[in-house]
Amino acid sequence: MAKNKINETTRQKVIKAHANGQSMRKIASEFSIGLSSVHRIVKEKEPQKGEKKVAKKEINIERKKRIQEIEKRIADLEKKIANLGVKKR
């Protein structure tokens, strides 16, 4: 069994360190906890299979919206450039 429970503050620090790209091995060493504990904490916070699909769909919807906004902005800028060319002549 476990010696000590890992408190919520440490869990949040582990998650933040992992999100910042720190290796699990380094996180375990830094917080003096086992590598398997770090792995479990990180895994608990990851979305489950069904949640991943929903998250991916939401990301794709947001991405499509951003692309449409950028394409609209490009079209507006192209019109402005075309008008500048007409005015110079």
Domain extents in the chain = 1-46, 47-89
Q: What is the pLDDT of residues 56-69, one digit of tens each?
A: 788 888 899 999 99
* Whole-angstrom distance, CA of residue 17 vs CA of residue 5: 19
Q: What is the predicted pLDDT for the residue at 72?
A: 97
* pLDDT at 2 (0 to 100): 55
Model pLDDT for residues 11-51, shown as the tens digit of each residue: 999 999 998 889 999 999 999 999 999 999 998 877 655 55
Compute the distance between CA of residue 16 and CA of residue 25 in angstroms, rounded to an integer.
14
Asked whether the whole model's pTM tops 0.75, one would answer no
1-46: CATH topology is Arc Repressor Mutant, subunit A (1.10.10)
In this predicted structure, what is the pLDDT of residue 64? 94
